[in-house]
Structure 1
């Protein structure tokens, strides 16, 4: 563990950059790949239910694809998180970021004529794995792929802080969730501008934060935390 008692994969800077990438994905798919958000599945489940209710069976069958991709991503990340320890080289948290970077390259260089659904389902899969793998940032439960809960937590903890202004733990939670929300917005804004300038290739910009995270986690696995690959991140 680090001097703070947390693994490198639980540090704030890692979560900041990963949620920035999530904001990048959201703006990219909405701007260029079908006008949808692929970071979560609530909307797809609602659309599936509506399709069934309206007797649109083909639409309902299609919506099973992104939902199934998200489900499989969660399953695979849980399975690999336990299995990859046998390699005794890198943590699953690190390998996941490398896989995600590879997916970004594939999607960015994918011909524009290919169906948007290829991009959508691939990011569904990637976001599910990331959501299931990165669960707590320095002891605070947090997501790296969407911000609904961060907004709720900010409001809830601000209300508690108003009654207990001396509580440093509440103040820390507000800062944590607020910073994650802020980085998500930065990612979405940057992606929107890049989409306008570079079109489909703009997704390659997400490799910058992903590359920084990957380099930091590899360094931790090989040097700073070597021999501690069996340590389980908080929340697992």
Structure 2
């Protein structure tokens, strides 16, 4: 279903927000896989597959190891759903904005951890954060999109390319480009993380702070100025 051209979108729903957040999501995934235990934190499909394999081979140690990040992701979704409703009552900042501030603090904490610290600390923290981000940011200017993984973006890009060419569908043409950009930004985040990890190892996660800080400042300005009277407006998809 197409989105009306005159639709108003909050800053937390706009393209730029989703582009930067999915780049952050790609960064997190590459970071934990590269230097923090070989676990994906931004989505759980791969971890569920690994868990199933561990159960199938009766590898109880691996089962317990994988249950930790999966459980953290599960709890992150629950907490974000609860906090979004409670914070809304204060009418000062949106939950979407506060979540980015929480991410900044979490990244600083992880960046200060020594390499000798158990990888599970980082895995639990980022799984929790990614789950909250995925559950909070749901629609990019009216189009459902994820900011922590790209499986659906791949499908939507391919599907909408066909519709755009075969049916001359202008909406499909718009959608494949939007999903394609999300794919590119996610890849950029992963590439960036891989490169900086070779130089800074576990401290590389601090390199994502400028992106998060930029997002937070722009959303905070919106909340306290031109969107101040719209704090009760619920972003699409919620």
Structure 2 length normalisation: TM-score? Answer: 0.94
Which residue of structure 1 lines up, in the alignment, with residue 142 of structure 2?
A: 139
Partner residue in 2 for 1:231? 233
Which deviations, in whole Å up to 9, do the C-alpha atoms of 1:82-122 show, x marking residues without a partner? 11111110000000000011111111110110111111111
Query: Once superposed, what is the RMSD of the aligned Cα atoms?
Result: 1.2
The answer to which of 50-59 and 221-230 deviates more is 50-59
Aligned counterparts of 2:62 and 2:215: Cα–Cα separation in 1: 38
Residue 164, structure 1, aligned to residue 167, structure 2: yes
**How far does the alpha carbon of each residue in 1:55-87 deviate from its partner, in whole angstroms, 9 at most, with x for none?**
223332332211110010000111111111111
Equivalence for 2:3: none
1:78 equivalent in alignment to 2:117 = no
1:151-190 aligned within 5 A: 151-165=154-168, 167-190=169-192
Secondary structure at the counterpart of residue 224 of structure 1:
coil
Distance in 1 (CA, whole Å) between partners of 2:36 and 2:119 is: 5
For structure 2, the 5+ residue unaligned runs are 1-5
Counterpart of 1:214 (choices 213, 216, 224) is: 216
CA distance in 2, matches of 1:77, 1:71: 10
- How many angstroms does 1:193 deviate by? 1.4
Matched, 1:101 2:101: no
Q: Helix, strand or coil for the counterpart of 1:87? A: coil
Deviation per CA, 1:181-201, whole angstroms, max 9, x where unpaired?
Answer: 111111111111111122222
Runs of 4+ in 1 over 6 A off after TM superposition: none
What does 1:25-104 align with in structure 2 at a 5 Å threshold? 25-104=28-107
Q: Deviations over 1:15-73 (max 9, x none)?
A: 01101111111221122111222111112222222222222233323322111100100
Q: Distance in 2 between matches of 1:55 and 1:27?
A: 28
Tell me if the contact between 2:32 and 2:40 (Cα under 8 Å) persists in the aligned partners.
yes
Number of residue equivalences: 233
Residue segments in structure 1 that go unaligned for 5+ positions in a row: none
When the two structures are superposed, what TM-score results if normalisation uses the length of structure 1?
0.95
CA distance in 2, matches of 1:89, 1:228: 11
- Matched residue of 2:182: which SS? helix
SS at match of 1:227: helix
